[in-house]
Structure 1
Amino acid sequence: MTRKIRIIGVGLGAPRHVTGEAVEAMNEVDVFLVPDKGERKSELLDLRRALCAELIENDRWQLRTIADPERGPDSERDARQYREGVAAWHAARVSAYVDVIKALPPGATVGFLVWGDPAFYDSTIRMVDRIAERIDVEMRVIAGISAIQVLAAEHRIPLNAIGGPVHITTGRALIEQWRRDLGTVVVMLDGHLRCRELVAEHPDLQIYWGACVGMPQQALVAGRLGDVIDEITRVRRRVRDDLGWVMDVYALVPPE
């Protein structure tokens, strides 16, 4: 029996960010599977539930939580250990998802709601590919508005210089990869603000930073990296203390 799975990008938590195509896909879904990351991130679960309640026009949908497997201390791992830890975490998630999907009624459509766009630093597509190795699956992916797009819009900037490139990376890889000829560098998944390590040699970089972009809790800071890095650190800590979590993204732009 083929299982229909919809991977749906839902933007940054605001119903107005959800595209018409995404709304159509949400209305096809019977059961949404959501990892339960614990009490400190329960607001993210509540946001998904609120999106479904506002945008789905039927009453048959369910939101089913799956206890998220322990991932471990990523910050204490080198690159090899990090990859191995993530692989083990994904495998445990896949097994939990497979067990739930197999137990669903025949013909039920399964949905995954992905923050932003499923193409940017999210592993849902990879995990559904793994699910498809164990269950016959018909998968569709629906694009969403990403944090990268919202960051640029909220700061009212184009990301690229005229004819210039845009490089997207992670905080873990920033220092190793950064070069001026990369153009604008967009950094995601940087829990330690590694850009601080660029201040000594490149204080004139312009940084456009945002936490919880597109959400009511949004916080923005922009300016010369050497001037605003301490402010970003303070604001980031405040958002994390207030919410129990923080999702942030930033762009580094070389001076002209």
Structure 2
Amino acid sequence: MSPRWRLSLIGMGMGSPAHLTLQGEQALRRVDLLLLPDKGEDKAELAAARLRLLQTVRPDFDAEAGGGPRVARYAVPSREGADAADTPRYLDAVRRWHDALARAWTQALREHLPQGGQAGVLIWGDPALFDSSMRIAQRVARELPLEWEVVPGISALQALAAAHAVPLNELASPVLITSGRWLRQHGCPADVPALAVMLDGGTAFEALPDPYAWHIWWGAYLGLPQQTLDSGPLPQAGPRIARARAALRQAHGWMLDIYLLKRRGADDC
């Protein structure tokens, strides 16, 4: 009988064990193999957070003695060309990156679960929101007899709103969820009262033409011991956030942050 594989994409929240849902915990208890992304020494803390979560849920896990689920590390390829300014080149670069990751997952499954079995990937935040894991799983399923599932997790948006005790949207008003790249290229539509910005490699909020119109809520390393928050009118809070980002990146070697912008004067009552 030919081997068959199952794969769970498990939303893990922001790295804190308290963020893992009961469904996520149950899924993690089933895995025979955890696929662990290796993003290099600068971001070793990201892999360590995943291993701590595995150890919390699976006390039988022992990396040195080989007890419990196995761990397959795979190198995360660089996204060459993903900083291209024009959208077609950017999309082409991201698709090539997805292809490379799918090859890494496929190789890990074949090598570490040659007879098939249950594997899992711990996805930062929620797999459905600004994450590539489902697209990668679709590619793997074209190469292997693979069944895969998605286990939702607490997203960075939820963690940010909770940390600041602020609703994402105003009454009867929408919120735009976008990326820093999109905000830099397109700005904020005039009819959007609130926007949440993810995957901003810098400070795209500095490109807004009228900073006095906005209030910002920002959070970095949400749910982790080094969690850092700031908020306030954009002209005052923006420079503080830019300085904090630079200092924190220097201190930790990596940055995961998100922010919410709302037009000032909106009344949610």
Same fold (TM over 0.5): yes
Amino acid at match of 1:79: T
| Mapped contact 1:211–1:246 kept (Cα < 8 A) | yes
> Is 2:15 the partner of 1:8?
no
Q: Deviations over 1:10-52 (max 9, x none)?
A: 0001101101110000000011112211000001111111110
Partner of 1:140: 149
The farther-off stretch of 187-196 and 74-83 is 74-83
Q: TM-score, normalised by structure 1?
A: 0.95
> Is 2:100 the partner of 1:98?
no
| Mapped contact 1:3–1:137 kept (Cα < 8 A) | yes
The farther-off stretch of 156-165 and 79-88 is 79-88
Partner of 1:151: 160
Q: Deviations over 1:38-95 (max 9, x none)?
A: 0000011111111101112544212211012222253354322211111111111111
Q: How does 1:104-253 map to 2 (within 5 A)?
A: 104-175=113-184, 176-198=186-208, 200-253=209-262
Write the distance in 1 (CA, Å) between the matches of 2:73 and 2:108. Answer: 10
Equivalent residue for 1:62, pick from 70, 80, 96: 70
Q: How does 1:34-49 map to 2 (within 5 A)?
A: 34-49=36-51
Partner of 1:19: 21
What RMSD in Å do the two structures reach over aligned CA positions? 1.4
| Mapped contact 1:187–1:249 kept (Cα < 8 A) | yes
Write the distance in 1 (CA, Å) between the matches of 2:83 and 2:142. Answer: 31
Q: Deviations over 1:111-156 (max 9, x none)?
A: 1100010011110011001100111111111000011001001111
Note the C-alpha offset of 1:201. 2.1
Note the C-alpha offset of 1:108. 2.0
Structure 2 portions without partners, runs of 5+: 62-67
Amino acid at match of 1:96: A
**Helix, strand or coil: the match of 1:181?**
coil
Amino acid at match of 1:197: A
The farther-off stretch of 35-44 and 174-183 is 174-183
Amino acid at match of 2:123: V
Note the C-alpha offset of 1:105. 3.5
**Helix, strand or coil: the match of 1:98?**
helix
**Helix, strand or coil: the match of 1:133?**
helix
Write the distance in 1 (CA, Å) between the matches of 2:189 and 2:119. Answer: 43
Note the C-alpha offset of 1:177. 4.8
What number of residue pairs does the alignment pair up? Answer: 255
Amino acid at match of 2:204: R
| Mapped contact 1:180–1:254 kept (Cα < 8 A) | no
Write the distance in 2 (CA, Å) between the matches of 1:71 and 1:89. Answer: 6
| Mapped contact 1:27–1:57 kept (Cα < 8 A) | no
Amino acid at match of 1:173: W
Write the distance in 2 (CA, Å) between the matches of 1:240 and 1:113. Answer: 23
Write the distance in 1 (CA, Å) between the matches of 2:161 and 2:204. Answer: 20
The farther-off stretch of 18-27 and 101-110 is 101-110
Amino acid at match of 1:34: L
Write the distance in 1 (CA, Å) between the matches of 2:216 and 2:190. Answer: 14
Write the distance in 2 (CA, Å) between the matches of 1:135 and 1:229. Answer: 48
Write the distance in 1 (CA, Å) between the matches of 2:201 and 2:212. Answer: 20
Note the C-alpha offset of 1:197. 1.1
